[in-house]
Amino acid sequence: MAAPKKKRNKAYRPRDVRTNIAALLFESDQPLSQSDRATILGAAHWSVQALARGAATRDDWHTIVNALNASQVLCEKAGNREVGLAVVYAAQNAMINVGERCKALGALRLGVGDLPKINEAMALYEDLLATVTKRQHAAALIEADRRIRAGNVVRLKKEGTRRMPAAGLAEDRAAA
């Protein structure tokens, strides 16, 4: 007679799929090169500048939001979780304000106090990119993309947008 099967007491968690084996083997544990960082940060900073000038496009909004979403994932995995996430959440809420203002006005415009929050988050993103490896950065982008599909990061919806709770702006909006 067979013994009863032991029940599993842990939730099933599938392993990460490694799609780029060559990068994993040869260069994934190296830090991002200066040219890679310059390309990534250049796109983000140019988009912030276009937004500050009032000449931003939808691509600029998405570039900034993708940088913030990647920063959120990197902060969650780093040791500065509380400090970094508060900065990222404040900037994400500022970008939500910009997106909602775009729906109302038809143009991407910054509100009062939005630009300093975004600039602070971009400075944090620079610091994070200086310390991460290529594998960590790629994993952060994949995780941010997964969260976008699941609806757990900044994404504008027609019926309204969920605010990021840690920045304290959700309560300010509710009180207003």
pLDDT in tens, 31-87: 878 888 888 889 999 999 998 888 888 888 888 888 998 888 888 887 666 778 888
Buried b (16+ CB within 10 A) or exposed e, 54-92: eebeeebbebbbbbbbbbbbbbeebeeeeebbbbbbbbb
Range with lowest mean pLDDT among 77-81, 148-152, 157-161: 157-161
Token pair 């900065």 is found at 87
Percentage of residues of the chain with pLDDT beyond 70 = 76
At residue 167, the pLDDT reads: 43
For the four alpha carbons of 53, 54, 59 and 61, in that order, the dihedral sign comes to positive
Please give the structure tokens belonging to residue 174: 């509710």
What residues does 133 pair with on adjacent strands?
31
Confidence of residue 120 (pLDDT cuts 50, 70, 90): very high
Cβ count near 169 (within 10 Å): 19
Cα–Cα distance, 113 to 145 (Å, whole number): 28
Confidence of residue 170 (pLDDT cuts 50, 70, 90): very low
Which of 167, 165, 143, 148 lies closest to 84 in space, CA to CA? 167
Do the Cβ atoms of 64 and 47 come closer than 8 Å?
A: yes
Cα–Cα distance, 159 to 161 (Å, whole number): 7
Is residue 96 predicted with pLDDT exceeding 80?
yes
At residue 172, the pLDDT reads: 41
What residues does 31 pair with on adjacent strands?
133
Q: What is the pTM of this model?
A: 0.71
How high is the mean pLDDT of the chain? 77
Query: DSSP label at 167?
Result: G
The one-letter amino acid at 58: R
Do the Cβ atoms of 128 and 154 come closer than 8 Å?
A: no
When pLDDT is averaged across residues 80-95 and rounded to a whole number, the result is: 82
Do the Cβ atoms of 137 and 69 come closer than 8 Å?
A: no
